[in-house]
Structure 1
């Protein structure tokens, strides 16, 4: 695994409001974007693709969470995923999981491996 200095910077931690999510486009040459959810000092990143049919999860930019901000929701068919591990707990892909991306927080930056989303 490469040094975190070689990892791609998604944003700064403070660019994601606490309790919210933010989407990021695919890197050059990639085909799938990512999204990050902030919970205090912790940031979780997933590939923006529903395991059921592969569509992006959000209906409009940055809208990945339910109204209570307790679950990730797929706009295509209403599947609901736990934030902490990406497991689908209701919907047609129940039991499947979102693809998690390793995250490193370096000097306030949210970094992911250079091949994330490719």
Structure 2
């Protein structure tokens, strides 16, 4: 497992981008749980954020691709609206402990 960030670095209903070993990924905290995905839209393979560390729609309830507006469920990465509906983001296994968030890449 690789260290991603301190738990306090990822606010509730917040998102943050990272680059680890040349791989771009992002994390979202929802309901106290952390979800981590590769930062790559299944539609065109582009990064999702519209500004640094901004991966969520205005309501902070869905992940949103800045390029074509595709919307993804935070809990499983499934696209529920947009050009890649039915496809999913690639999840990265993660866990959180007192030191912070850890990922398995």
Answer whether TM exceeds 0.5 for this pair.
yes
RMSD of the TM alignment (CA)? 1.1
Match of 1:35 in 2: 26
Task: Quote the Cα distance in structure 2 between the aligned partners of 1:79 and 1:39.
Answer: 19
Aligned to 2:97: 106
Render the CA deviation track for 1:48-92: whole Å, top value 9, x for unaligned.
000011100002111100111011000010000011111001111
Unaligned runs of at least 5 residues, structure 1: 1-6
Q: 1:1-118 residue pairs with structure 2 within 5 A?
A: 7-25=1-19, 27-28=20-21, 30=22, 32-113=23-104, 116=105
When normalised by structure 2's length, the TM-score is 0.94
Contact 2:41–2:48 (CA under 8 A) maintained in structure 1: yes
Q: How many residues align?
A: 105
| Cα distance in 1, alignment partners of residues 31 and 99 from structure 2 | 13
| Superposition TM-score, scaled by structure 1 size | 0.84
Q: Which has the higher strand share?
A: 2
Q: Max radius of gyration: which structure? A: 1
Dislocated runs of 4+, deviation >4 Å: none
Gaps in structure 2 of 5+ consecutive residues: none
